[in-house]
Amino acid sequence: MANKLYDKNGFKFEYPDDWTIESYDDGVSVTSPTEITWTIRRFPAHTDGQEFLEEVAEALREEYKSIDIEKTQEEINPGVILDTWEIDFYCLDIPCVARAQTLKTPFAIYFLYSQTDSDELDDVAPIIDDMLDSWLEPFRQFDANAGLTENEEE
């Protein structure tokens, strides 16, 4: 499957050519042909990213009563932290998975969200992971102590 490059409003990543894009001033959503959406939003650096994750968990808990959360944290680079909450729940007896993430940088907080039923997870998760990896690439090159790397300054 061929990929397209999205590069607008400070967001840059590759996505499958059969997915559709909706742009916002502070973010972007990418939707699969089966209507699975991956969304990224940007907020000021002083925003509490943990509050986003808590709010997502609380909303799912209110809607579905029983949820299971697996929390992970990855240091992408010094000063750049990716928090991921994988949230499992049942919707009408169908197992579902939501992934809520925040990326904390010295200059912004990014909130990322996707949700799918477990049947589609095997097909969609690798695609979302590839989009995430391509979006994270500049952050992997970022040095919080020195600013942008030489490659980004060019």
Q: Where are the domains of the chain?
A: 3-142
Confidence (pLDDT) at 154? 35
Annotation: CATH topology of 3-142: Protein Transport Mog1p; Chain A (3.40.1000)
**CA-based torsion, 14, 19, 21, 26: positive or negative:** negative
Positions of the chain with pLDDT lower than 50, given as ranges: 147-154
Whole-number pLDDT of residue 145: 59
Predicted pLDDT at 120:
79
**pLDDT in the model for residue 1:** 54
Whether the CB-CB separation of 118 and 91 falls below 8 Å is answered with: no
The pLDDT of residue 151 is 43
Which 3 state secondary structure label does DSSP give 107? coil
CA distances (Å), origin 103, targets 26, 30, 118, 127, 139: 14, 18, 25, 19, 10
pLDDT of res. 144? 59
